[in-house]
Amino acid sequence: MKPEGIRLIAQNKKAYHDYRIEETLEAGIALTGTEVKSLRAGRVNLRDSYAAVENGELFLIGVHISPYEQGNIFNHDPLRKRKLLVHARELRRLYGKVRLAGYTLVPTKMYFKNGLAKVELGLAKGKTTYDKRQTLAKKEAEREMERVFRRGERD
């Protein structure tokens, strides 16, 4: 069940496949008017995107927000860097983990919360190919058990 006032725009399922997400945090996004309209239409792609700290500020890089059809000259660059809004204390903590512990900040979800665009960032470590295979095998085994269980109930 989703909490009141939250409307999911996009989800990055590939992030859970490629990374081990250790913790998540919510950040606001600084957007232009036509970007918000494109988000409301659900025209966003989070794949292959990440967040990085530059000059003491957090930016979302590689997120593709399609240009708004009725936007004419006011349209935006679909792949521009977007500033993320987080508390300074949280930014320093994240910067320390990314810099020293080898973590990456990966957007996992984008949603509207009470009318404001938000992104959920995951503090992630990359999975090896072995880890990915192990995760897929585990999911397949769970699906197979579920199939057998359902078949057994009908008999």
Kindly report, residue by residue over 33-45, the tens digit of the pLDDT.
888 888 888 888 8
Phi, psi values for residue 58, rounded to 5°: -100, 130
Kindly report, residue by residue over 45-80, the tens digit of the pLDDT.
888 888 988 888 999 998 888 888 776 776 777 888
Q: Which two tokens stand for residue 62?
A: 């590689």
Does this model's pTM top 0.95? My answer is no
Choosing among 2.40.280.10, 1.20.1600.10, 3.90.245.10, 3.40.190.10, the CATH entry for 7-127 is 2.40.280.10
